[in-house]
């Protein structure tokens, strides 16, 4: 099963592909979609949509994982992240790609075994779990791979395979 993980953002939108078979996982690529801060918001969102759509069409993932929106202090940052997240959900829906949503705590729990793990701990475990020679860069790509790993675990579960939304 090929899983696409997304770390949404308007300036930098991370993506990562993980292939899973039972309990085995391996990385199949990662990167970021960047937009210019000088561009209009709507143009930035179109770029993210277009590039995600191209990634979906070219790689044909079986499922897309994305974090649920979470913010605790800065509402100003949450709005653009929410917009980029909406565009990613739209790209998946337009391509009939099933979506699994998890909280940041669930992603950290799945990848590190601890829901309050630090960013460094998550990156370390992503690197180890995918047997990568170096840590994925930038952090947005590493975060997207973490989402893909957590999604792979969900998608391999009997509940998901039996049609239950998680």
Closest CA to 49 of 78, 83, 98, 100: 83
Here the tokens at position 137 are 């860069």
Active site residue 7: yes
How far is the C-alpha of 84 from the C-alpha of 33, rounded, in Å? 11
Active-site residue identified among 7, 19, 51, 101: 7
Q: From residue 165, how far is each of 95, 101, 162 by CA, in Å?
A: 18, 10, 9
The catalytic position among 19, 51, 67, 143 is 67
Cα-only R_g, the chain:
15
Q: 2: burial class by Cβ within 10 Å (0-12, 13-18, 19+)? A: middle
**Residue 27 CB neighbours (<10 A):** 19
Q: 140 an active-site residue? A: yes
The catalytic residue among 19, 51, 101, 140 is 140
Told to judge if 67 belongs to the known catalytic residues of this protein, a careful annotator would answer: yes
Give the residue numbers marked as catalytic: 7, 67, 140
């Amino acid at each position: 099963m090929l899983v696409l993980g997304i770390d949404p953002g308007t300036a930098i939108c991370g993506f990562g592909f993980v292939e899973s078979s039972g309990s085995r996982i391996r990385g199949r690529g990662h990167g970021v979609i960047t937009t210019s801060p000088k561009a209009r918001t709507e143009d930035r969102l179109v770029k993210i949509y277009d590039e995600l759509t191209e990634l979906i069409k070219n790689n044909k993932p079986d499922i897309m994982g994305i974090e649920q929106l979470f913010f605790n202090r800065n509402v100003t940052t949450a709005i653009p992240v929410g917009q980029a997240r909406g565009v990613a959900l739209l790209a998946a829906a337009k391509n009939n790609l099933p979506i699994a949503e998890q909280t940041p705590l669930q992603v950290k729990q799945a990848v590190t075994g601890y829901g309050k793990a630090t960013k460094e701990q998550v990156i370390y475990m992503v690197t180890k779990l995918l047997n990568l020679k170096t840590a994925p860069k930038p952090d947005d790509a590493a975060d997207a791979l973490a989402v893909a790993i957590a999604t792979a675990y969900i998608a391999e579960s009997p509940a998901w395979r039996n049609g239950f939304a998680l």
